[in-house]
């Protein structure tokens, strides 16, 4: 009995020392991020010196070059590129749109083509028919829709506290609107932008077509313009006049950008973390997902600067083409499996550069329980979300290549994210310096705990 008592005391003492060690290290991580951090200047360079980074564009290629150079400057153990093929779609000349009222009055609108849409081949005009949701459109008859322009006017639910739930509930009008309207013979489809504020910034995003269904142009109106169009339709018939110059080109060659700190004990066991380097071609891709890649770049820089020797290999990946194909994530997952690598965990930052709130785990109950053990280490830094949830689009394919792998998602505050998501307003100036730095510190600390505990 005496031996068991002393064994318990020794174990408690060891846990206490271990916790104190973690606490001291994490405090130093935050000091480095907040007092000597590079994240804000790196994001400025990515947004202002490179700009928006749609897959297949010159800006995307320059972003690859910039990222590789930056990782080498920070002295990571390995820096290299993984070649991939990505879709190449271009918006063309700026979109134009007007309401033509029953009296013939023209009202100028703010419109963006949805990513992947075909163009209008000059001016396209037609009577508008409004539906609130994709389900309402599915219930319509061909006689209601044929030869008209479908307007899908579903608002994001402002009552949802977690804004990603509001976004998910509306996604179908963007992703599937052209298919469902095309089935009924529509000329085109326009949607209310997937954003919470009532403003003049239209939000683009990916959509898709299906074989054997007529392809029709698809665009998004600013929320304020969608409101205006709906009000005009209450007065009687109205027409839309549209011009979009979208073009699709053959797939282009691009790259995932990869940097590593080699594991000291288990170099062949990989923890992948990162975000997506590409962005939509409006704004500067500051929150989506410039902040995410910079979070992860800065996290690895901090660990390198602090001379941390990871137990497992820490690999940062700047994925290309999350926005309109996820070829970076899909190709990476296949590539590392074919190489025979062992992947033990993954983390993604792709929810903006706002104040950090915690982490979620797309994994088993045991893995979620493991995540929850991190919570005490972050209490003084105001992180409180440690629960089951989503990982990320880019790291998702790793679950097919490595069944059972836990995928973690970085969770910042989401209340302002859909003010900027896929919109021209997603620029460097919309990212708060301190919030960005806190996010990088949180991720660096998380990686430290994950590497020591997994």
* Residue after which a domain boundary falls, among 213, 247, 281: 247
Q: Is residue 180 part of a domain?
A: yes
CA distance 359 to 372: 9
Same domain for 419 and 270, yes or no, is: yes
Q: Is 317 helix (H, G, I), strand (E, B) or coil?
A: strand
Convert the pLDDT of each residue in 421-430 to its tens digit.
Answer: 999 999 999 9
Query: What is the residue range of 178's domain?
Result: 94-247
Same domain for 160 and 303, yes or no, is: no
Mean pLDDT of 274-284: 97
Q: Is residue 24 part of a domain?
A: no
* Residue after which a domain boundary falls, among 247, 264, 296: 247
- Say if residue 9's pLDDT is above 80: no
48 CB neighbour count, 10 Å cutoff:
13
Same domain for 187 and 278, yes or no, is: no
31 CB neighbour count, 10 Å cutoff:
14
Convert the pLDDT of each residue in 347-399 to its tens digit.
Answer: 999 999 999 999 999 999 999 999 999 999 999 999 999 999 999 999 999 99
Same domain for 47 and 159, yes or no, is: no
Same domain for 330 and 238, yes or no, is: no
Q: Is residue 112 part of a domain?
A: yes
Catalytic residue among 180, 322, 323, 348: 322
Q: Structure pTM?
A: 0.94
Q: Is the alpha carbon torsion for 268, 274, 278, 284 positive or negative? A: negative
CA distance 384 to 404: 25
State the chain's mean pLDDT as an integer.
95
CA distance 447 to 363: 17
Strand ranges across the sheet with 188-192: 106-108, 96-100, 239-243, 124-131, 149-152, 188-192, 218-221, 111-113
CA distance 392 to 394: 6
Same domain for 311 and 403, yes or no, is: yes
Query: How many domains does the chain divide into?
Result: 2
Same domain for 267 and 174, yes or no, is: no
Q: Is residue 17 part of a domain?
A: no
- Look at residue 20 in the predicted model and tell me its pLDDT: 82
Q: How far is CA 310 from CA 179, 265, 322, in A?
A: 49, 8, 28
The vertex-94 CA angle with 179 and 350, nearest 5°, equals 65
CATH no. for residue 364? Answer: 3.40.630.10
Convert the pLDDT of each residue in 108-128 to its tens digit.
Answer: 999 999 999 999 999 999 999
Strand pairing category for 247-261 and 78-90: antiparallel
Same domain for 142 and 99, yes or no, is: yes
Q: How many residues does the chain have?
A: 454
| Residue tagged 């010196």 (tokens) | 49
Exposure b/e, 394-423, CB count within 10 A at least 16 = b? bbbbbbebbeebbbbbbbbebebbbbbbbb
* Residue after which a domain boundary falls, among 247, 282, 311: 247
Convert the pLDDT of each residue in 139-164 to its tens digit.
Answer: 999 999 999 999 999 999 999 999 99
**Separation of first and last alpha carbons in the chain:** 32
Q: How sure is the predictor about 102, in pLDDT bands with cuts at 50, 70 and 90?
A: confident
Q: Is the alpha carbon torsion for 287, 288, 290, 296 positive or negative? A: positive
Mean pLDDT of 404-411: 98
Q: Is residue 20 part of a domain?
A: no
CA distance 207 to 221: 15
Q: Is residue 235 part of a domain?
A: yes
DSSP secondary structure string, 212-268? Answer: TS----EEEE-HHHHHHHHHHHHHS--EEEEE---EEEEEEEEEEEEEEE--SSEEE
CA distance 278 to 293: 10
Strand pairing category for 96-100 and 239-243: antiparallel
Catalytic site includes residue 322:
yes
382 CB neighbour count, 10 Å cutoff:
12
Q: How far is CA 396 from CA 203, 246, 331, 346, 421, in A?
A: 24, 30, 12, 9, 21
Same domain for 349 and 439, yes or no, is: yes
Q: Is 387 helix (H, G, I), strand (E, B) or coil?
A: strand
Q: Is residue 6 part of a domain?
A: no
Query: Shortest CA distance to 174 belongs to which of 323, 327, 348?
Result: 323
Within 13 Å of residue 249, how many CA atoms lie on the same side as its CB?
12
Residue 291 backbone phi and psi in degrees, to 5: -60, -40
What percent of the chain has pLDDT above 70? 96
Quick one: tokens of 382?
A: 């105001």
Same domain for 323 and 263, yes or no, is: yes
- Helix (H), strand (E) at residue 344: strand 342-348
Q: Is residue 22 part of a domain?
A: no
Within 13 Å of residue 327, how many CA atoms lie on the same side as its CB?
20
Same domain for 216 and 262, yes or no, is: no
CATH no. for residue 223? Answer: 3.50.30.30
Same domain for 221 and 335, yes or no, is: no
Beta bridge mates, 126? 240
Q: Answer yes or no: are the C-beta atoms of 242 and 120 closer than 8 Å.
A: yes
- Look at residue 168 in the predicted model and tell me its pLDDT: 96
Helix 433-453 and helix 2-36, axial crossing angle in degrees, nearest 10: 150
Query: Shortest CA distance to 271 belongs to which of 333, 313, 330, 319?
Result: 313
Q: Answer yes or no: are the C-beta atoms of 224 and 199 closer than 8 Å.
A: yes
């Amino acid at each position: 009995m005496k031996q068991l008592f002393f064994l318990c005391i020794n174990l408690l003492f060891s846990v206490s020392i271990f916790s104190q060690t973690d606490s001291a290290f994490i405090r130093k991580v935050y000091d480095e991020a907040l007092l000597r951090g590079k994240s804000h200047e790196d994001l400025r360079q990515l947004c202002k010196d490179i700009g928006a980074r749609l897959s297949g564009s010159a800006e995307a290629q320059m972003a690859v070059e910039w990222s590789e150079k930056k990782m080498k400057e920070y002295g990571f153990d390995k820096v290299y590129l993984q070649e991939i093929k990505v879709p190449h779609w271009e918006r063309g000349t700026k979109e134009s749109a007007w309401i033509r009222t029953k009296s013939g009055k023209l009202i100028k609108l703010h419109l963006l083509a949805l990513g992947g849409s075909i163009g209008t081949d000059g001016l396209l005009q037609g009577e508008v028919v409004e539906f609130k949701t994709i389900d309402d459109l599915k219930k319509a008859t061909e006689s209601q829709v044929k030869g008209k322009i479908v307007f899908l006017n579903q608002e994001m639910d402002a009552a949802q506290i977690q804004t990603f739930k509001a976004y998910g509930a509306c996604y179908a009008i963007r992703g599937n609107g052209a298919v469902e309207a095309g089935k009924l013979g529509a000329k085109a489809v326009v949607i209310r932008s997937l954003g919470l504020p009532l403003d003049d910034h239209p939000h683009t995003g990916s959509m898709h077509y299906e074989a054997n269904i007529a392809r029709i142009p698809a665009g998004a109106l600013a929320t304020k313009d969608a409101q205006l169009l709906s009000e005009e339709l209450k007065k009687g018939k109205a027409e839309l006049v549209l011009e979009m110059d979208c073009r699709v080109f053959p797939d282009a060659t691009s790259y995932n950008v990869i940097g590593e700190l080699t594991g000291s004990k288990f170099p062949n066991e990989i923890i992948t973390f990162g975000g997506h380097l590409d962005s939509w071609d409006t704004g500067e891709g500051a929150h989506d997902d410039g902040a995410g890649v910079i979070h992860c770049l800065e996290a690895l820089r901090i660990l390198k600067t602090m001379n941390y020797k990871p137990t497992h290999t820490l690999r940062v990946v700047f994925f290309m083409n999350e926005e309109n194909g996820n070829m970076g994530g899909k190709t990476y997952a296949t590539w590392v499996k074919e190489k025979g690598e062992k992947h033990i965990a993954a983390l993604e930052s792709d929810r903006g550069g706002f104040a950090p709130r915690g982490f979620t785990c797309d994994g088993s109950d045991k893995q979620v329980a493991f995540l929850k053990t991190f919570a005490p280490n972050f209490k003084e830094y105001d992180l409180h979300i440690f629960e089951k949830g989503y990982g990320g689009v880019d790291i998702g394919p790793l679950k097919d290549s490595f069944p059972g792998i836990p995928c973690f998602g970085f969770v910042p505050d989401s209340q302002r994210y859909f003010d900027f998501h896929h919109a021209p307003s997603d620029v460097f100036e919309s990212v708060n310096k301190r919030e960005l730095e806190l996010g990088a510190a949180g991720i660096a600390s998380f990686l430290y705990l994950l590497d020591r505990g997994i």
